[in-house]
Structure 1
Amino acid sequence: MAKRENDSFSLKDLMGSFIQENNKLKKGFQKIHIDEAWGKLMGAGVASYTSEVKLQNGTLIVRLSSSVLREELNYGKDKIIRMINEEIGEELVKKLMLV
Structure 2
Amino acid sequence: MLKHESKSIGDILSEYFEENTFLRTKIAEHRAVAAWRELLGSGVSKYTKNVYLKRNTLYVQLSSSVLRAELQMNKESLIEKLNEAAGMPIVYDIILR
Q: Shorter-chain TM-score: which interval?
A: 0.7 to 0.9
CA separation of 1:13 and 1:36: change in aligned 2, threshold 3 A: farther
Instruction: Give 1:26's aligned residue.
Output: 24
Q: How does 1:1-99 map to 2 (within 5 A)?
A: 1=1, 3-9=2-8, 11-20=9-18, 21=20, 23=22, 25-99=23-97
Deviations 1:41-69 (A, max 9, x none): 11111122112221111111111122221
State the TM-score, normalizing by the size of structure 2: 0.80
Provide the rounded CA distance (Å) in 2 between the counterparts of 1:15 and 1:94: 28
Give the conservation status (yes or no) of the 8 Å contact 2:59–2:96: yes
**1-structure distance, mates of 2:12, 2:46:** 36
Shift of 1:94: 0.9
Counterpart-to-counterpart distance in 2, 1:50 and 1:87: 19
The separation in 2 between residues aligned to 1:88 and 1:60, in whole angstroms, is: 12
| Secondary structure of the corresponding residue to residue 13 of structure 1 | helix
CA distance in 2 between partners of 1:52 and 1:92 (Å): 18
27-36 or 45-54, larger mean C-alpha shift? 27-36
Give the TM-score normalised by structure 1: 0.79
| Structure 1 segments unaligned to the other structure (5+ residues) | none
* Identity fraction in percent: 33
RMSD of aligned C-alpha atoms? Answer: 1.9
TM-superposed CA distance for 1:84, in Å, is 1.0
